[in-house]
Amino acid sequence: MGDMDRIRWQCRRGLLEMDLILQRFLAEDFDSLNTDERVLFKELLGEVDTVLLAWVMGQEAAPKRYDALIQRLQRR
């Protein structure tokens, strides 16, 4: 399995909301990420769905290193 296939698979989530947000981000924004942002996005995909959703919905503060990515995800 290639790197992009792994990322696509990791964007499939247990929470429908996160699945939709991440799938749209992958389709529309992922290609515009630079190398460092892609590494950070892969790290972000390791987070638990409920935590990730709370960050994207603005219910909890995400670690600072994710700020730019979370802002982009919030537009989805």
Q: Domain range spanning residue 23?
A: 3-74
Closest CA to 39 of 63, 75, 3: 3
> Does the structure show a pLDDT above 80 at 76?
no
Is 8 within 8 Å of 45 (Cβ atoms)? no
| pLDDT above 90 for 37 | yes
The number of distinct structural domains making up the chain is: 1
Q: Which pLDDT score, from 0 to 100, does residue 14 have?
A: 87
Do 56 and 73 touch, CB atoms closer than 8 A? yes
Mean predicted lDDT score pLDDT of the chain: 93
**What type of residue sits at position 50?**
T
Residues 6+ apart with CB under 8 A from 9: 1
CATH of residue 21: 1.10.150.250
User: What is the average per-residue pLDDT within 65-75?
Assistant: 94
